Amino acid sequence: MKSFDAVVIGAGPGGYPTAIRLAQLGKKTAIIEKENFGGVCLNVGCIPSKALIYGSSQYWKMKNEAEEIGISVKGVDCDLAKMQDWKQGVVKKLTTGVQGLLKANGVEIIKGTATFKDSKTLEVASQSGKETITATSFVIATGSRVAQIPILPFNGKNIVSSTEALSLREVPKEMVVVGGGFIGIEIGTVYAKLGSKVTIVEALDQLLSTVDNELVALVQKKMKHFGITVHTGAKALGIKEKEPLKAKKLNLEIETKDKKTQTVSADVILVSVGRSPNSDNMGLEKLGIKMDPRGNILSNNQSMTNVSNIYAIGDVAGAPQLAHRATMDGLLVAETISGKRTYKDYKTVPWAVFCDPEIAVAGLTEKEATEKGFKVKVGRFPFAASGKALAMNESEGMAKIVIDEKTEAILGVHIVGPEASNLIAEAALAIEMGATVEDLVRTIHTHPTLPEVMPEAVEAAFYKAIHIYKPKRG
């Protein structure tokens, strides 16, 4: 039997930083992982998808956009198998690095599947047998898995989840994506740029349903440029083939927004309809740990469950299911376990969609702010008026800033355009610090750079932008 001050279950972007920080704070710490160090994010999520997004974008630009800026590129081809090998090399560097960091910080690594026997005892099963582990505190960081729908069960070949879609060795001639959320749009765009005829089927009336529709409209317009067909308000009814693994082509029946039935053919169907928490088969029920109907573990503002020495962080604790949120949850939990009075008090959790152009958001939408009782001003500044964006040949999109008219505090920032995922960091810092519009406008921004759109968007809300003309109403 091994005993520790703290044990972290799961070595994803929530778990491994938690374990490292606990060790840094002097706690005897172990981390248990049954599969892949780095979790979904590093292995089959954030990192591999962004690698393929980068690769496919380079290919698209060379083939379709280089001529516009005077570069003649002939005989451009894409070897997807080689791109996948490169992507996997990136993944391996990072996942190997995670294990190295854990060891360097003195965290004991235990490989196996953990089950609670009681609130202070785990049984860990591995290929070498079972062992018992005790600890004063436990952190559940087991993440989430892809959700399935009964009419389209995964087979790993031509009906796939994001995991398999990120490892295809050949570009499918036709791909159908069921689900128009972050993951579906990102992966669908990758394969469209590589030459697939892509169709996206989304049950709701808007792609990216939680995103400001002004931003979505611009992305959807660009998707047409990539040859992507979009059906919103549409339902997947199932495939006609009885044995999909033996079929050369799949024929998916959908019900369109106007209630008509249509058939869409595909070599590969990607089902991307959300994620489910990995809270089952851990013995949590016997401990009386409370969960919501979806299986998300309920916790307070210290990530503490109703069993006081057990904490839950990241995807397994519910929305927002974001790697960076899981990391911050974990760092705060480590301090709590070490005796510090630390609480989650996030004013905003920024996020990004790596579509083309990118979308990034921090804070409230205009609608959310109004519903919360704020009287708002809204400023918009287009990348078409940005010297740097024009020089990059990426002038589509805008920055939109939502401002509290009374206090002039920044309530929300919404960006669609080049490098939006990087630009949102300034917005997140501004909202977290309670910055006002004057703070942002009086901060000198380097020229020529993309972040210059931020103060210009603020000034536009007050009819004072320099590089666009916006006449005052009335």
297 in a structural domain: yes
- 283 shares a domain with 323: yes
Give the model confidence (pLDDT) of 349-392 as tens digits: 999 999 999 999 999 999 999 999 999 999 999 999 999 999 99
Contact 55, 87 (CB under 8 A): yes
Which one of 271, 293, 322 terminates a domain? 271
342 in a structural domain: no
Token pair listed for 321:
């299911």
Contact 297, 312 (CB under 8 A): yes
- 397 shares a domain with 445: yes
- 68 shares a domain with 127: yes
- 75 shares a domain with 195: no
- Domain region containing 105: 2-146+276-337
Nearest C-alpha neighbor of 162 from the set 187, 189, 194: 187
54 in a structural domain: yes
Q: For position 18, what pLDDT does the model report?
A: 98
Q: State phi, psi for 306 to the nearest 5 degrees.
A: -70, -10
CA 85, chain centre distance (Å):
23
CATH number of the domain to which 29 belongs: 3.50.50.60
Which one of 315, 337, 359 terminates a domain? 337
Q: For position 473, what pLDDT does the model report?
A: 75
CA 314, CA 271: separation in Å to the nearest integer? 23
Amino acid (one-letter) located at 132? T
Q: For position 474, what pLDDT does the model report?
A: 61
CA 275, CA 209: separation in Å to the nearest integer? 16
466 in a structural domain: no
Q: Is the dihedral of CA 391, 393, 395, 399 positive or negative?
A: negative
Q: For position 471, what pLDDT does the model report?
A: 86
- Indicate the number of domains in the chain: 3
CA 317, CA 275: separation in Å to the nearest integer? 12
What is the pTM (predicted TM-score) of this model? 0.96
Which one of 247, 271, 295 terminates a domain? 271
Helix, strand counts (H, E) of the chain: 14, 22
CA 451, CA 420: separation in Å to the nearest integer? 9
Q: What is the 3-state secondary structure (H, E, C) of 41-60?
A: HHHHCHHHHHHHHHHHHHHH
CA 221, CA 228: separation in Å to the nearest integer? 10
DSSP character string of 357-383: SEEEEEE--HHHHHHTT--EEEEEEEG
- 456 shares a domain with 375: yes
- 217 shares a domain with 172: yes
Considering the candidates 231, 324, 445, 447, report the single residue annotated as catalytic: 447
- 199 shares a domain with 112: no
Q: What SS3 class is residue 299?
A: coil
**Beta strands, E only, 219-308:** 229-232, 235-239, 250-255, 261-266, 268-271, 275-277
CA 210, CA 361: separation in Å to the nearest integer? 10
468 in a structural domain: no
16 in a structural domain: yes
CA 377, CA 121: separation in Å to the nearest integer? 54
Contact 227, 195 (CB under 8 A): no
Amino acid (one-letter) located at 249? K
Q: What SS3 class is residue 159?
A: strand
Q: What is the mean pLDDT of each run of 10 residues along the chain (474 residues)?
A: 96 98 98 96 97 98 95 94 98 97 98 97 94 98 96 96 97 98 98 98 96 96 97 97 94 96 97 96 96 97 98 97 97 97 94 98 96 97 98 98 97 98 98 96 98 98 94 76
Contact 442, 459 (CB under 8 A): no
Q: Is the dihedral of CA 10, 12, 18, 21 positive or negative?
A: positive
Q: State phi, psi for 64 to the nearest 5 degrees.
A: -120, -15
Q: For position 294, what pLDDT does the model report?
A: 96
- 172 shares a domain with 134: no
CA 98, CA 92: separation in Å to the nearest integer? 10
Containing 460, the helix (H) or strand (E) segment is helix 453-461
Helix%, strand%, coil% for the chain, nearest 5: 35, 25, 40
344 in a structural domain: no
CA 347, CA 271: separation in Å to the nearest integer? 33
- 142 shares a domain with 11: yes
Q: Is the dihedral of CA 207, 209, 210, 213 positive or negative?
A: positive
Q: Could you tell me if residue 297 is left (phi over 0), alpha (psi between -120 and 50 degrees) or otherwise beta?
A: beta
- 357 shares a domain with 378: yes
CATH number of the domain to which 394 belongs: 3.30.390.30
CA 413, CA 453: separation in Å to the nearest integer? 11
Nearest C-alpha neighbor of 351 from the set 411, 427, 278, 283: 427
Is 225 labeled as catalytic in the residue annotation? no
Report how far apart, in Å, the C-alpha atoms of 189 and of each of 49, 182, 267, 276 are: 11, 11, 16, 24
Size of the chain in residues: 474
CA 344, CA 333: separation in Å to the nearest integer? 9
Q: What SS3 class is residue 233?
A: coil
Contact 284, 297 (CB under 8 A): yes
Q: For position 34, what pLDDT does the model report?
A: 95
98 in a structural domain: yes
- 142 shares a domain with 28: yes
Give 276-281's long-range contacts (Cβ < 8 A, gap of 24+). Answer: 276/144, 276/145, 276/146, 276/147, 277/142, 277/143, 277/144, 277/315, 277/316, 277/317, 277/318, 278/10, 278/142, 278/143, 278/144, 278/145, 278/315, 278/316, 279/140, 279/142, 279/316, 281/115
- 167 shares a domain with 184: yes
Q: Which residues contact 203 (CB under 8 A, 6 or more apart)?
A: 233, 234, 235, 236
